[in-house]
A and B are shown apart, each in its own frame.
Chain A
Amino acid sequence: MLNCHDATRLVSEAEDRQLSLKERASLRLHVVMCSGCRHFQANIRFLRTIMRACVRGDDERSRTPPP
């Protein structure tokens, strides 16, 4: 059974590699029961969204007042 420490590690590693079927199953089971890790997973996914926005240059556009 995963604890939160291991679950957060798997959430983070899922950003960089394909998790095994066993890892994915145990992570899914854990986040269903743990609201902290569920929020953590959503937060980390949003961090990815932030970085994609950076690459697109959205950070600069939002700082530049429209004409």
Chain B
Amino acid sequence: MDQDTSAHPPAAHPHAAPPAAPWGEAFVAELRRQMLRFATLQLSDAHAAEDAVQEALIGALQNGASFGGRSAFRTWVFAILRHKIADELRHRQRVVEASQLLQEGEEDAMLELFDSRGHWLADERPRRWADPEASLQDAQFWRVFGACLEHLPARQARVFMMREFVGLETPEICAAAGLTVSNLNVMLHRARLRLRECLENRWFLEGRAC
């Protein structure tokens, strides 16, 4: 990390001992595990992910006493981590062979949804989701959504989270992932198709039980 544009507390030395955790070590250990998984997926580099997580945690813990609860702290520390990941990705230029783009079972799953004329197959036609906003208040919904994200092919998950969670723009994602704009659009489309289908099958059509 050579700069911190996040307007958050200044980064501490990445290997300094973290300040005392206001909510106990078990909470911070679990939070760190979640952050590390997210950062590793985004950066594809375990060492860089460790550094980003460490810096984000130390920066947040130095101000931990000012947070009302664990949820606010978790949101804050993930916001710092997102900025650190975005900074790191913006400073990288990596090239991916075009032939690698269809790895990991990313072959055109879209063809399984449509008939030869490009119309929905009867069983695949999307349904109306009843009162989706109410789902956002349901803890079980978030567990199902998390499981759906976990089941995305890694490359699709990475660019989808770069776009929707880290908040990078198309040129930034293309530079970080070594993709053309059209390749990126295809991957984002496939990620959304899979997530939509997963949520429909596992939540909205299953009586909201999974």
Interface residue ranges, A against B (CB under 8 Å): 3-6, 8-9, 12-13, 15-17, 34-37, 39-40, 42-44, 46-51, 53-64
Contact = CB atoms under 8 A, between A and B. Distances in A.
15 contacts: A3-B119, A8-B110, A16-B163, A35-B125, A36-B125, A36-B126, A40-B126, A43-B200, A48-B164, A54-B164, A55-B167, A57-B75, A59-B142, A60-B75, A64-B69
Interface secondary structure of A, over-half rule = helix
- The 3 A-B pairs of least Cβ separation, nearest first, read A57-B75, A3-B118, A5-B118
A15 B191 CA distance: 12
B132 interface: yes
A16 B170 contact: yes
A64 B70 CA distance: 9
A56 B75 contact: yes
A57 B72 contact: yes
A33 to B, nearest CB: 11
Contacts of A57: 71-72, 74-75, 78
Contact of A12 (B119, B146, B193, B199): B193
A7 B146 CA distance: 27
A35 to B, nearest CB: 8
